[in-house]
Chains A and B, each alone.
Chain A
Amino acid sequence: MAGSTVQSKQSFVTSSGASSQSVTLTSTTAGNGIWSVGHDGTGINKAMTSADTVNGSHGTQLDNVNDSGNGNTVRHWAKASIAGGTTTVTVSFPGADTFSGMYASEEAGITVVDGHSGNTQNVVNGGAISSGAATNANTAYMRALSVQDSSTAGTPTAGAGFTNDANFASGFWNNGANSARAESKASVAAGSNSAAFTNGLGSTQTFNTVMVMWDEASAGGVTVLPPAGALTLSGQVPTVTTTANQFVLPPAGSLSLTGLVPTVSVSGNQTVQVPAGSLTLAAQIPTVIASANQVIAPPAGSLTLTGLVPSVALSNNQLVATPAGSLSLTGLVPTVVTTQNQFISLPAGSLSLAGLSPAIIGAVVPPVITGPTAAGRPRRRYYVEVDGVRFDVRDAEQARQILERAKTLAREAAEQSAAIIQRTHRITTETIEPVKLEAPRITASPELKLPLKSVRRSINKIYREKSVIVELRMWLELEQRLMEDEDEAMLLLN
């Protein structure tokens, strides 16, 4: 956007000693700039200052032009990124100064000052008046003012390629010996540039000239500097349209989002890509709330948790459900520490340990694994034998487990033997032979020094008790059957 002058005003007084002069710029637009120029006809180095009622002081002058030949001072100031509104611009003079004047303008399409210069010259008739050169880094909007400060009346004219301030077709400060001209030039290319006016007054004259260049908005960023609390976006929601990626680059510590919590809506997946080391969540611990399952899907190798070990707290059971083949624990072996018994409950058929045979090491009670022995594995040294079935064991503890299991199964085995005997004696009608269920024979490696006698006694007792019960049950059954036979015989006789 090329720069332009929105409005301009001037004030000038001849003889009376003025200590300040003011003009009002109406309805200025926030973000625009104000350029002001002061003229003091009572001498050089007059310490004029400039300010306005909305934006305050305009700071140090850009240039101080001293016309020692005629006793004049010209200064100018630039205020960028103004707050909007009607404002009164005041140039203050150090004493009660005569032949003093001011010029103030509102500039649009500009951002910051990018070069300025000031110069006083004696220029011959028809010659070019120059502000002196200044360098602008970006495309700029140039404003310049030249005042003819010789004793002869007359006004410089706008230079070639420059536009005269339309508010002052005949110039201004046209009071006797003074007369000024303001001009502008948009889209000044970056480089060394100067403002030019023309002396068409018919003689050699003294001109005091100042020039400022503002970056045009298209050449760089637009800076909006609202004072504290003054920026309110209300009413209709503004539409912000960008044609390319945009960056918000607040300096360290300066971006604060306070008040109501803003709602951030996204219509699709969003990616936050922070460069290495730059994302820090500090101060209060953020609360992350998820209303549904969340998936963290880092690509291969990219998720690294370093530094302090994060603490993961679970308030109830958590399931880790990895798809087939996807869970690999490599590198250093993780240590799993449990402070109490842990149970792994597997549904039927779902635990498969394939590939290399895992080595299972138990420090307290080794698990009993039954099943086919891998070919080539060496036989264990010790054994326990139950009714001729040999169990290889590693040590006495494993042997005891088998004996305990045998004792547990003895009651069930005795019951099965009793059922068989009962069936085979059912056809015998005259008498019942004494029942003696044979207990299993149990032997073991002597080196194990197992309490075999005690185990045998326990098992034999189970079988003896079962034998008595079976024999008694068979006697009762025989008696019942004989009574039924007598009843049938009586029926036949009758």
Chain B
Amino acid sequence: MPKSFAKTQQFSVPITSLSVGVHGPFSSGNLPTQLQGYIVDLQNDATWPVGDPANPQPVVRLDVEVSTDAGQTWVSDASITLADQPWQNRDKTPTNISEWNVSLPTDDLTGRRARLTVTVSIACRLGATFSSY
């Protein structure tokens, strides 16, 4: 019988203007001992840079690192690069929200933490809420 894991917010970075450079890391506390993964809910606004669709350029890179020793050491877990194109739902309608979902081993681990680093290549406005599930 598959376990059911509740989506639980760990930390949130309200939408804000981000200059070019590295922001963070933004860290969680100890995550639940058992979890399937994490979700980063993203939010932008109308100022999101939009470039040539034939030649998309990176705007921001999100890197998630995970620690299994309560934050003493960190290893890279996943990353995503968002480009200078409009966000849209599957039906092609515009949207300002997106959900990034990454799995984690479901091992029974204590002292597991996550942290998010934001590397901005083109200035933008972005918010992120990190949740485990």
Chain A residues at the B interface, C-beta cutoff of 8 Å: 7-24, 26, 41, 86, 88, 95-96, 98-99, 167-170, 172-177
A to B CB contacts below 8 Å, 16 in the list = A9-B102, A14-B90, A16-B44, A16-B82, A17-B83, A17-B84, A19-B83, A20-B80, A23-B77, A24-B78, A26-B75, A96-B56, A98-B89, A167-B103, A167-B105, A172-B101
Tell me if B79 and A21 are in contact (CB < 8 A).
yes
Could you tell me the distance in whole angstroms from the C-beta of B18 to the nearest C-beta in chain A? 14
Q: Which residues of B lie under 8 Å from residue A13 when comparing CB positions?
A: 80, 98-101
Contacts A19-B56, A167-B105: A24 and B77 contacting too (C-beta < 8 A)? yes
Tell me if B84 and A15 are in contact (CB < 8 A).
no
Residue from B56, B103, B106 within 8 A of A172 (CB atoms): B103
Instruction: Considering the complex, give the chain B residue whose CB is closest to the CB of A98.
Output: B88
- Which of A10, A21, A22, A175 has the largest count of B CB atoms less than 10 A from its CB? A22
Q: Which residues of A lie under 8 Å from residue B85 when comparing CB positions?
A: 17, 95-96
Tell me if A14 and B102 are in contact (CB < 8 A).
no
Q: Which 5 A-B pairs have the closest CB atoms?
A: A96-B85, A16-B98, A169-B2, A96-B83, A17-B85
Query: Does B110 sit within 8 A of A, measured CB to CB?
Result: no
Tell me if A16 and B78 are in contact (CB < 8 A).
no
Tell me if B3 and A16 are in contact (CB < 8 A).
no
Could you tell me the distance in whole angstroms from the C-beta of A91 to the nearest C-beta in chain B? 11
Within 8 A of A (CB), among B10-62: 36, 42, 44, 53, 56, 58
Chain B residues at the A interface, C-beta cutoff of 8 Å: 2-3, 36, 42, 44, 53, 56, 58, 75-90, 95, 97-106
Tell me if B97 and A15 are in contact (CB < 8 A).
yes
Question: Given A17-B85, A167-B103, 11 more contacts at CB 8 Å?
Answer: A7-B105, A9-B104, A14-B90, A14-B98, A16-B82, A20-B79, A26-B75, A88-B79, A95-B53, A169-B2, A172-B103
Instruction: Considering the complex, give the chain B residue whose CB is closest to the CB of A12.
Output: B101
Give A177 to B95 CA distance when docked, in angstroms. 16
Give A96 to B98 CA distance when docked, in angstroms. 13
Tell me if A95 and B75 are in contact (CB < 8 A).
no
Could you tell me the distance in whole angstroms from the C-beta of B2 to the nearest C-beta in chain A? 4
Residue from A14, A17, A167, A177 within 8 A of B99 (CB atoms): A14
Q: Which residues of A lie under 8 Å from residue B79 when comparing CB positions?
A: 20-22, 88
Give A282 to B132 CA distance when docked, in angstroms. 66
Tell me if A18 and B88 are in contact (CB < 8 A).
no
Give A86 to B42 CA distance when docked, in angstroms. 28
Could you tell me the distance in whole angstroms from the C-beta of A50 to the nearest C-beta in chain B? 15
Q: Which residues of B lie under 8 Å from residue A88 when comparing CB positions?
A: 76, 79
Q: Which residues of A lie under 8 Å from residue B102 when comparing CB positions?
A: 9-12, 23
Instruction: Considering the complex, give the chain B residue whose CB is closest to the CB of A9.
Output: B103
Tell me if B80 and A15 are in contact (CB < 8 A).
no
Tell me if B99 and A95 are in contact (CB < 8 A).
no
Give A50 to B88 CA distance when docked, in angstroms. 24
